[in-house]
Chains A and B, each alone.
Chain A
Amino acid sequence: MGAKILVVDDEQGIRDLLSLELGNREYQVATAANGEEALKKISQEKFHLVISDIKMPRMGGLEMLDAIKKADPDIEVIMSTGYGTIETAVSAMKMGAYDFIQKPFNLDEILALTEKALEKNDLKTILGIYETSKAIFSSVKLETLLPIMAEVSIRVLKADDASIMLLNGDGKLKVAASMGLTDDDRAQARLALGERVAGKAAESGKPLIITGPLEQDARFSDVESLRDIRSSIVFPLLLEGQVMGILNINRTSKTDSFGPCDLRHATILGSQIAQAVHNAKLYAELEKKIVEIQQMQAQLVQTEKLAAVGQLAAGVAHEINNPLTGILGFTEIMLQNDGLSAEQREDLESILHQSRRCRKIVQNLLQFSRRRKPKNEPIRLGEILDPTLQLVQYDFRSANISLKTHIPEDLPLLCVDSSQLEQVFLNLVTNARQALEGRKDGAVFINAAQKDGRVVIRFEDNGPGIAPENLDKIFDPFFTTKPVGKGTGLGLSISYGIIQEHKGSIHCESRLGAGTAFIIELPARTEQAP
């Protein structure tokens, strides 16, 4: 369907002529004899273009133009005049007319102008929207998206600078992207502007045009670097009634102020930006959830692994214990014989030693399979950690390894099975001790902190670190890199199981050559808990 054009002229002849000619070219044409009549028609239906005489009875062209631009800035207006001076034409252009044409006009000229005006009317907004939409789909990362949006805002609104400010977690406005601002001072000043009017804009949910110079405005007179602003739009970025931030667009060099037409375009841009921010936030949340699910999955796999090995271990352990009782018992009985040669005694001692080693392995296996429900005693972390460290203190000192702890006084109580946790802590410090074997500057640092209702305990050493390819295997049962006889590969699996039973988590951060840290998180005791 063709565009709708309103022809306004007090001369019947011109109205008829243009109606006929434009109508022949697929346009829908309506007519009015003066400004008043024209405004009435515009209020009733949407027109894309008005071709109007300047001098008319009742309401003249300029007065009408002003009213049209206020009512619907997207309507293009071509003024025609038979006697007009350049001054009248210029003031018409200033008021937002698309162009003007002198009477008596050449029909071809007016048709060409009509076509161009309609094209512009359409393209102008579509282009801006197209650019922003394109940007929205180009990325879900705000770091990429927002600068593009700011740039498009400048272009569409013929502005000199644009900033997008977003509310962060604690409700403070922060500049997320800005364009056209070379120095930081000016960017910060835009933030001050945003902060000062954000509340107001947010409250009304409506955009704000501030016409400069700003030093005369009491709200901004104290901000030095805002003085260059001649005209400013502050647009609240809303989504479902919630303010997410502010789009601020400024003109500093151009003399003309932002008008209602610009505000409309800012509205379109603003809603697109708000949507993009919302999308990006949703995407980030989704990403976080995926990571959570992956972690949970990994944890489940680990738990399954532990359970399967535990079951197997329990069965094997019982089968081995009886024959081992025989070996150990008879070896001891033989050793009670006084008539043994030194060599025989030595050999028997060796059997004894090896069977004890077997027994230790079986015991570890059993402990592993024993998924005892932990007790829940309220206790201070220090009460568990201190006795554990006392056990290794002598060994650390004689190996010249420094052992430092930092436990804040106000650390909340834990609600745990202290003997099980002692076992975990002992396992971690023993591992660290073994990793630091033979080093001159070996150090182990244990510190604790509270975070979101949890107690975080970090065991850190400056040992050789864990090879990246081993990092995801260290909690697997029987995985060990220690020399034969030095470890069964169950310590960390058992620790993992214990921490999990306590509804906590344990993970490892390590870099080759830099050291290793094990981080345990346990729920802090809540006030309501007994």
Chain B
Amino acid sequence: MSGAKKILVVEDEAVIRSICRRILAPLKHDAVFASGIREAAEKIDSSHRFDLLITDMRLPDGDGLEAISLFRERNARAAILIMTGSPNPGARADRLQEAGLDEKDILAKPFEIKDFESLVRRKLEEAE
């Protein structure tokens, strides 16, 4: 891994944003946070390039897949990690597939820190 990476976290729950911040901090990455799609769009526009997007699926102003497509417009080669507490991954399998994603790109909430860390590490390696 070469140096600090840039990560965008889209999550409407402040508590979970805060946990993500605490977990990511020791990893020395540059993490940026957004509470919804509109805020995420602003962050995407104002930054040069991201290496990883971590997004919730259910957001107050839209759905995680919208955030993903917005993100990809500017960060085509970046990795994607979905974080969700939604019950039925099977039901949205088709939509995930359209976005070029699958079950392996999903981190189920509530998660353990070590799982979060290892998935982020793997994603960042993939994106290199």
> Chain A residues in contact with chain B, CB under 8 A?
313-314, 317-318, 321-330, 332-333, 336, 355, 359, 366, 369-370, 372
Contacts and interface: CB of A to CB of B under 8 A. Distances in A.
Given A314-B88, A372-B90, 20 more contacts: A313-B87, A318-B58, A318-B85, A318-B86, A322-B16, A323-B15, A324-B110, A325-B13, A325-B85, A325-B110, A326-B15, A327-B110, A329-B22, A329-B110, A329-B111, A329-B113, A332-B113, A333-B22, A359-B110, A366-B88
A314 B87 contact: yes
30 contacts: A313-B87, A314-B87, A317-B87, A318-B58, A318-B85, A318-B86, A322-B16, A322-B85, A325-B110, A325-B111, A326-B13, A326-B16, A326-B19, A327-B110, A328-B110, A328-B111, A328-B112, A329-B22, A329-B23, A329-B110, A329-B111, A329-B113, A330-B19, A332-B112, A332-B113, A333-B22, A359-B110, A369-B87, A369-B88, A370-B88
Contacts of A318: 58, 85-87
Nearest to B116: A329
Interface in B54-89: 58, 85-88
A367 to B, nearest CB: 9
Nearest to A332: B113
B110 A355 contact: yes
A318 B111 CA distance: 14
B88 A321 contact: no
B29 interface: no
B113 A321 contact: no
A322 B109 contact: yes
Contacts of B87: 313-314, 317-318, 366, 369-370
A333 B88 contact: no
Interface in B87-104: 87-88, 90
Q: Which of B13, B19, B109, B110 has the most CB of A within 10 A?
A: B110
A329 B85 contact: no
A321 B85 contact: yes
A248 B16 CA distance: 88
Nearest to A333: B22
A355 B19 CA distance: 16
Contacts of A328: 110-112
Contacts of B88: 314, 366, 369-370
B109 A321 contact: yes
Contact of A325 (B16, B22, B86, B90): B16
Nearest to B58: A318
A359 B86 CA distance: 13
Interface magnitude class on chain B: 10 to 19
A-B CB proximity, top 7 nearest: A321-B85, A329-B19, A325-B110, A326-B15, A324-B110, A366-B87, A325-B109
Contacts of B19: 325-326, 329-330, 333
Nearest to B114: A332
A323 B13 CA distance: 9
A342 to B, nearest CB: 21
Contacts of B22: 329, 333
Contact of B13 (A322, A336, A370): A322
Contacts of B13: 322, 325-326
B15 A370 contact: no
A321 B83 CA distance: 11
Contacts of A355: 110
Contacts of A330: 15, 19
A325 B23 CA distance: 13
Nearest to B16: A325
A366 B113 CA distance: 22
B112 to A, nearest CB: 7
Contacts of A321: 85, 109-110
A12 B6 CA distance: 137
A333 B23 contact: yes
Contacts of A372: 90
Contacts of A369: 87-88
A329 B16 contact: yes
A322 B109 CA distance: 7
Contact of B113 (A323, A324, A333): A333
Contacts of A333: 19, 22-23, 113
A505 to B, nearest CB: 24
Nearest to A363: B108
Contacts of A322: 13, 15-16, 85, 109
A370 B85 contact: no
Contacts of B16: 322, 325-326, 329
A333 B112 CA distance: 10
A374 B108 CA distance: 22
Contacts of A323: 15
Interface string B34-63: 000000000000000000000000100000
Contacts of B113: 329, 332-333, 336
Contacts of B58: 318
A327 B85 CA distance: 14
Contacts of A359: 110
A328 B16 CA distance: 10
Nearest to A372: B90
Contacts of B23: 329, 333
A359 B85 CA distance: 11
A283 to B, nearest CB: 48
A314 B110 CA distance: 15
Contacts of A329: 15-16, 19, 22-23, 110-111, 113
